[in-house]
Amino acid sequence: MQITTITARTALVRSKIPGVDYVINPYLGCGHGCRYCYAVFMRKYARHHRESPWGAFVEVKINLPEVLKAELHRKKRPGRALLASVCDPYQPVEARYRLTRQCLEILGEYGWGVDILTRSPLVCRDLDLLTAMPEVSVGLSMPTDDDRVRKILEPNAPPLGARVAALQRLKEAGLTPWVFIAPMLPLNPERLYELLKPYVSRVMLDPLNYRGQVRDIFHRQGWDYALTDAYAAQTRETLTRLFGNKAR
């Protein structure tokens, strides 16, 4: 993994995501290296790693907390921010650099609402902060129930069992975690439902959008069926039936 520190000029980026005013991305690049990642386009904005494969580099915005604090200081009223939109805020480098944690501390200080979306149980490290924030929502991505699929398509992301254990910890701490089943990879809907149902307040479903990026991998694995619109529709229908009014 190539890790470089850089300085950021801005922290808050205006968002069109419903319910979110701004996004904050403490890292450029993502060590999870998901093969289907929608954020691969961010590589063109890298300062030092434009030629490196996605997942092989991370640029650490080392001054982001200071920049964020200055920006929040200038805002007239609190808003709501998502960590993160084009990287995982709890990817492995976060254990060392703690930028997400520092941003949470500052957002909490200024009374901002926070949405978190991650694949990592490292989010539980920050339970002390998260449980003290009145306006917080924590989502874990769980696009399959099958760790064999996870190993092939999310080679450096935490195992699914660790994500379920994180959901349990979040719930036991008094939060109401939700799960992003996205993109819907090859999965067994009934098994995924059984894994998640004790812990989640809602699930959001999304199909695989960048199919060309993974077509060869899916073909080699015999998963061509999972690249079709019919698979996406059928999986959505089954998960919606299972989760009932918790599914969106």
Name the E strands within the chain.
2-6, 13-14, 22-23, 27-28, 57-61, 80-83, 113-118, 136-141, 178-181, 203-205
CB of 30 to ligand SF4, least distance (A): 3
Among the listed residues 49, 80, 101, 119, the single contact to ligand SF4 using CB under 6 A: 119
| Number of chain positions touching ligand SF4 (CB under 6 A) | 10
- Chain centroid offset of residue 162 CA: 15
- Give the number of other CB atoms < 10 A from CB of residue 10: 12
Return d(Cα 183, Cα 119) in angstroms, integer: 13
Among the listed residues 1, 3, 12, 39, the single contact to ligand SF4 using CB under 6 A: 39
Name the E strands within 80-202.
80-83, 113-118, 136-141, 178-181
CB of 172 to ligand SF4, least distance (A): 24
Q: Is 149 in the site for ligand SF4 (CB under 6 A)?
A: no
CB of 32 to ligand SF4, least distance (A): 4
The 3-state DSSP class for residue 119 equals: coil
Q: Is 87 in the site for ligand SF4 (CB under 6 A)?
A: yes
Q: Is 33 in the site for ligand SF4 (CB under 6 A)?
A: yes
Return d(Cα 64, Cα 69) in angstroms, integer: 8
CB of 157 to ligand SF4, least distance (A): 6
Choose between 34 and 67: whose C-beta lies nearer to ligand SF4.
34
Return d(Cα 222, Cα 193) in angstroms, integer: 24
CB of 82 to ligand SF4, least distance (A): 13
Choose between 31 and 72: whose C-beta lies nearer to ligand SF4.
31
Query: What does the binding site for ligand SF4 look like in residue numbers (CB under 6 A)?
Result: 30, 32-34, 37, 39, 87-88, 119, 157
